[in-house]
Every structure is written in structure tokens, then in C-alpha cells.
């Protein structure tokens, strides 16, 4: 592995006193992209429409759950669509939007309209039990030698039986039960962070997966809590963190990551 030679080791330009799961998984996808974003703090010259759409769906869902938590009626379609566009604007007003092939603002508008309709009809829009957290930030010293681990949990609900942690995903296609299980590390970490919220209460984990297809689906997929996976996830994070501290930054090109990467210019110029 090659270290970035002109940067001091273990002396990040961008200082944070916490580490998130998404930062660690960003390093796993491409260490150099992590470096540009989290160490150099480079501005991102564009945002992909796909990323902005996913964020705006989260924004609309957050608005929806907040209304329910406040005891109001669930928002109607147009109100929720307004919440979507408010969030979209906040993400795109200062940067260019990079649309994918055969994608423009009209196709995004149609997709958003269909997603909002599917979301309102889905079970996830009518949570079981009391909502106790929305976009809840939990942080804890969880892993020896690392800063606090920070998790932002989309939805936490409570019934007599359990505390349920839901992570909302937007995806190109439907997820299988196996795919949800395979993607469960993030939820394992959230379970570790939320363990003391209501001591002794069992924790259930699930993904709510919204597809961006012509006919969007919204499905809830449970993930089994497994203490061994929690420990494994913590070990992976610790190893990745050590790599970051040791200055191991290098490009990891992939057809999945590079086309939407906002740092292609600095990446091309990078010489190690």
C-alpha cells in the first residue's frame, strides 16, 4: 500500500472527534476517496442525482414520522412531496447536480411522485408502537483506541415487546432477505449504540428498502441480531481505523464508485 507522501501521518486536516459507520465503509470502498473527503475536506463540486434523491426521500420520511410523533395526521401526498423538494433544494442549491444516463429533473420528479405514493401506502409509513427517535444521533465510546462511534438512526419505535431500529435505504432494485442479512453490519453497530436506551428491552433490527423502479416498492426486511457479528463489525472498524491512522490512502477504482465520484479530478492528479 502507498501512503500519501505529502501529508503528515495521523494529522488529519479535518478534525473530528467521532467516526461514523458510513465513513468507515467509504474507506472500504475507496481509501483515496475517503482521504479527499474526510482528511483533506475537499469540496464536492457536484452531487449525483441518485444521491440527492435518496437523501430527499429520507427528508420526506423524516417529515412524515415527525408529524406522527407530534400527534398530527400523516401528511398528504402533496405535503410530503413538498418536503421532498425542500430537502432536494437544500442538497443541490450550492452544487451542480450530475444526472445519470436517461435521467433529468423531469424523470426525478416522476420517480419522487411514485416513491411518495408507494411510501404512504406502505407498512413503514404506519409504524407499529410509539416513535421514540427520528434521525436519532447516538454516539458512544464503543471500540478501544477509536474516537466515539456515531450512528444516525432513521427511526426507532417501541412496543411492549421490543425496541425496533429501522434503517431506510433507497435502492435500484428490490433487496432479497439474504441481501438484507449480508448488509446488516450497520444495524449491528446501531444495536450496540442503542443497547442502553431502554435497558433490558430486546432490540429488533430491520431495513426499510424503497426502490427507485418504475413501480417503486417499499419493503421491510428484518435482520437477526447477532452478538458475534457486532464484535466482528467492531474489529473491522478498528482495523480500518488503524489503516487510516497509518496513512494508507490509495485509489481503488471500480465501475460502481468512480462514475459518481466527485473527486475524479484530484484522483487523476494524485501521484502518491
Positions that interact with ligand SF4 (CB under 6 A):
30, 32-33, 251-253, 257-258, 261, 263-264, 267
Q: Tell the smallest beta-carbon distance from residue 245 to ligand SF4 (Å).
A: 20
Measured from the CB atom, the residue of 60 and 240 that comes closer to ligand SF4 is 240
Measured from the CB atom, the residue of 179 and 252 that comes closer to ligand SF4 is 252
Q: Tell the smallest beta-carbon distance from residue 17 to ligand SF4 (Å).
A: 25
Q: Tell the smallest beta-carbon distance from residue 14 to ligand SF4 (Å).
A: 16
- CA dist 254 and 54 (Å) reads 21
Q: Tell the smallest beta-carbon distance from residue 97 to ligand SF4 (Å).
A: 18
Q: Tell the smallest beta-carbon distance from residue 183 to ligand SF4 (Å).
A: 20
Measured from the CB atom, the residue of 66 and 252 that comes closer to ligand SF4 is 252
Measured from the CB atom, the residue of 36 and 119 that comes closer to ligand SF4 is 36
Measured from the CB atom, the residue of 225 and 250 that comes closer to ligand SF4 is 250
SS3 readout for the chain: CCECCCCCCCCCCCCCCEEEHHHHHHHHHCHHHHHHHHHCCCCCCEEEHHHHHHHHHHHHHHHHHHHHHCCCCCCCHHHHHHHHHHHHHHHHCCCEEECCCCCCHHHHHHHHHHHHHHHHHCHHHCCCCEEEEEEEEEEECCCCCCCEEEEEEEEEEECCCCEEEEEEEEECCCCCHHHHHHCCHHHHHHHHHHCCCCCCCCEEEEEEEEECCCCCCEEEEEECCCHHHHHHHHHHHHHHHHHHHCCECCCCCCCCCHHHCCCHHHHHHCCC
Q: Tell the smallest beta-carbon distance from residue 270 to ligand SF4 (Å).
A: 8
Measured from the CB atom, the residue of 34 and 190 that comes closer to ligand SF4 is 34
C-alpha closest to that of 108 among 257, 247, 212: 212
Q: Tell the smallest beta-carbon distance from residue 6 to ligand SF4 (Å).
A: 17
Measured from the CB atom, the residue of 23 and 261 that comes closer to ligand SF4 is 261
Let me know how long the chain is.
Answer: 272
CB 97 within 8 A of CB 52: yes
Amino acid at each position: 500500500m502507498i501512503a500519501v507522501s505529502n501529508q503528515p501521518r495521523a494529522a488529519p486536516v479535518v478534525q473530528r472527534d467521532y467516526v461514523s459507520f458510513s465513513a468507515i465503509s467509504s474507506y472500504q470502498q475507496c481509501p483515496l476517496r475517503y482521504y479527499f473527503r474526510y482528511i483533506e475536506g475537499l469540496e464536492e463540486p457536484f452531487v449525483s442525482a441518485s444521491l440527492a434523491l435518496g437523501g430527499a426521500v429520507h427528508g420526506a420520511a423524516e417529515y412524515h414520522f415527525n408529524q406522527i410523533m407530534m400527534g398530527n395526521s400523516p401528511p398528504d401526498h402533496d405535503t410530503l412531496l413538498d418536503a421532498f423538494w425542500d430537502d432536494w433544494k437544500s442538497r443541490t442549491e450550492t452544487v451542480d447536480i450530475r444526472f445519470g444516463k436517461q435521467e433529468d429533473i423531469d424523470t426525478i420528479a416522476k420517480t419522487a411522485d411514485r416513491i411518495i405514493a408507494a411510501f404512504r401506502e406502505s407498512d413503514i409509513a404506519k409504524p407499529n408502537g410509539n416513535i421514540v427517535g427520528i434521525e436519532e444521533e447516538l454516539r458512544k465510546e464503543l471500540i478501544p483506541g477509536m474516537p466515539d462511534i456515531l450512528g444516525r438512526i432513521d427511526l426507532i419505535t417501541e412496543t411492549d415487546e421490543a425496541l425496533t431500529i429501522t434503517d431506510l435505504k433507497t435502492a435500484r432494485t428490490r433487496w432479497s432477505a439474504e441481501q438484507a442479512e449480508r448488509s446488516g453490519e450497520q444495524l449491528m453497530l446501531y444495536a450496540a449504540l442503542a443497547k442502553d436506551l431502554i435497558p433490558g428491552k430486546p432490540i429488533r433490527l430491520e431495513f426499510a428498502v424503497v426502490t427507485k423502479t418504475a413501480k417503486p416498492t417499499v419493503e421491510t426486511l428484518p435482520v437477526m441480531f447477532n452478538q458475534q457479528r457486532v464484535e466482528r463489525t467492531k474489529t473491522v472498524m478498528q482495523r480500518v481505523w488503524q489503516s487510516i491512522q497509518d496513512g494508507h490512502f490509495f485509489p481503488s477504482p471500480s465501475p460502481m464508485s468512480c462514475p459518481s465520484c466527485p473527486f475524479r479530478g484530484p484522483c487523476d492528479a494524485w501521484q502518491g
